[in-house]
Amino acid sequence: AQKVTQAQTEISVVEKEDVTLDCVYETRDTTYYLFWYKQPPSGELVFLIRRNSFDEQNEISGRYSWNFQKSTSSFNFTITASQVVDSAVYFCALQTGANNLFFGTGTRLTVIP
Amino acid sequence: DSGVTQTPKHLITATGQRVTLRCSPRSGDLSVYWYQQSLDQGLQFLIQYYNGEERAKGNILERFSAQQFPDLHSELNLSSLELGDSALYFCASSEPPGRLNTEAFFGQGTRLTVV
């Protein structure tokens, strides 16, 4: 069975602080993809990143970075120098051979000015 | 803008009624997915179509049905609506021709309120 756990329900940080959102996944498949999506207050789901299970290289995109560790089944997301516009709910998701996404319960990030 | 269009954006209807949600995928994408986001269940996969054929089924109720038309747009039909069906319904698309298992891009969602 597939499962994604985002243990942090809500996080608040002050603007310019760094913040890490945790994601732990479970799957028996050896080939899978991991995703992060952002859901701002307006409600849409915005794609941020996709990594496949064979690529454990960390990735950086501007203020965003992702740390994928197969040994701990984790795919954590760090925002550096947070901004008010980063306030949103962030979802981690897992995709296996079935193609559809299994989402975590999301982490609500509030960045305080 | 993800390129996925959902209509209507908001829908308010009474219990027992039937509604149809519409989704236009990104140009050329062959796969369409439907997801439901509710407060108690979170984001849940309902159903997937690929080039007009049902490919995968998730936690979709028997009162719900979907189809994908030859022009690749999709409709989700919800009938005998109950208060608990109130949710945000997302459509997503992926897999342009020749590329399998690509990332899914989501529409803005249809917020359904059943009163």
Interface check for A1 against chain B (CB to CB < 8 A): the answer is no
Chain B residue with minimum CA distance to A46: B106
pLDDT digits (tens, 9 = 90+) for A29-73: 988 999 999 999 999 999 999 998 988 888 888 999 999 999 999
- Interface contact B93, partner A, CB < 8 A: no
> What whole-number percentage of chain B has pLDDT above 70?
97
For residue B16, pLDDT over 80 is answered with yes
Q: Burial level of B51, CB count in 10 A (0-12/13-18/19+)? A: middle
Report pLDDT digits (tens) over A5-24: 999 999 999 999 999 999 99
Is the CB of residue B101 less than 8 Å away from at least one CB of chain A?
yes
Inter-chain residue contact B58 with A43, CB threshold 8 Å: no
At residue B15, φ and ψ (nearest 5 deg) are -60, 145
pLDDT digits (tens, 9 = 90+) for B36-91: 999 888 999 999 999 999 999 998 999 999 999 999 999 999 999 999 999 999 99
CA of B79 vs chain A CAs: smallest distance (Å): 24
Tokens of A13: 């940080």
Cross-chain residue pair A47–B104, CB shorter than 8 Å: yes
State the sign of the Cα–Cα–Cα–Cα dihedral B36, B103, B108, A8: positive
Helices (H) and strands (E) in chain B, counts: 0, 11
Yes or no: say if A17 and A36 are a contact pair by the CB < 8 Å rule: no
The pLDDT value recorded for residue A98 is 66
Write out pLDDT tens, residues A76-112: 999 999 999 999 999 999 998 767 889 999 999 999 9
